[in-house]
Structure 1
Amino acid sequence: MSANHQHMLRLVLSCRKITAQVTNPTTSTIIAMASSTEQEFLAQYRTRLNRFPRSHHFWDAKMASRVGEKLGFRLKEIGVTSINIDLDEELSRPIHYRKRVLPLFDSVKRLGVAVDGVEKLGEIGPA
């Protein structure tokens, strides 16, 4: 089955950060990744860390979109034009996380990398 031979996008989410990793289907090694812990996001992270009242969410849909953009550029750079998501894993996430990660997928697609399986997530509505 050809879907098993596509690169797999996995998201690692917590209240503090979002990390997107794309793995090689045969070796399971990470071939590209982007995270909200990268240098360009540090100032925004510190701002959220020190604001009052305190929030337990340090990333939002806008940051997810930027992480997706960085990932998309890195995938294009190495010649990857199509990736898969683990639909069951994405659907098992709490709704507030699912709504915040949709812009990540949109950013990757905008840069010309097909994201298979995402169309089934769109049914949850806008963020």
Structure 2
Amino acid sequence: MAAPAATHSAHHLLQLVLSCRKITAQVTCASTHSIIAMASSAEEEFAREYKAKLNRFPRSKTFWDSKTASRIGDKIAIRLAEIGVAAVRIDVGEEMSRAVHYRKMLGPFFSSVKRTGIQVYGAEDLIFLG
């Protein structure tokens, strides 16, 4: 029974695009390389928080945190569940190559995706600091 789930997970790749200003999660279909689901901190519901951090003095160096990452995880998981995707995989090498301060904030992202019921293959190999 585990083999079909692993085969199914190979069809969808969860990728994270991180910068100091925003976090974007996208899931692509491995066969067509097209994006099937996406969530970003640039969406309208996050605009108020972003403006508050932007106009604050002294300015912060990052405009998203682990709480925002967790909410993005919830959004992408809900969108995946709506289209019937139950499992995704991640590129562990890419995630491990991220800067430590980004990896610390991504633990809640993966936790919220798993909590919603989406299996994330490869996340068990990640070490989240903090």
TM-score range, shorter chain: over 0.9
User: Is residue 125 of structure 2 the alignment partner of residue 124 of structure 1?
Assistant: no
Q: Tell whether the 8 Å contact from 1:4 to 1:25 is kept in structure 2 after alignment.
A: no
User: Partner letter of residue 125 of structure 1?
Assistant: L
TM-score, length basis structure 1: 0.93
Per-residue deviation, residues 58-111 of structure 1 (Å, max 9, x unmatched)? 000000000000000000000000000010000000111011111111111111
What CA distance in whole angstroms lies between the structure 2 residues aligned with 1:77 and 1:3? 17
* SS across alignment from 1:124: coil
Q: What is the match of residue 3 of structure 2? A: none
> 1:84-99 residue pairs with structure 2 within 5 A?
84-99=89-104
Please provide the CA RMSD for this pair: 1.4
> 1:74-93 residue pairs with structure 2 within 5 A?
74-93=79-98
Q: Tell whether the 8 Å contact from 1:15 to 1:56 is kept in structure 2 after alignment.
A: yes
Q: What is the match of residue 118 of structure 2? A: 113
Q: Bigger shift: 2-11 or 65-74? A: 2-11
What CA distance in whole angstroms lies between the structure 1 residues aligned with 2:128 and 2:48? 31
User: Partner letter of residue 39 of structure 1?
Assistant: E
Per-residue deviation, residues 46-69 of structure 1 (Å, max 9, x unmatched)? 000000111110000000000000
% identical equivalent positions: 56
What CA distance in whole angstroms lies between the structure 2 residues aligned with 1:4 and 1:49? 38
Which runs of 5 or more residues in structure 1 are unaligned?
Answer: none
* SS across alignment from 1:28: coil
User: Partner letter of residue 103 of structure 2?
Assistant: R
TM-score, length basis structure 2: 0.91
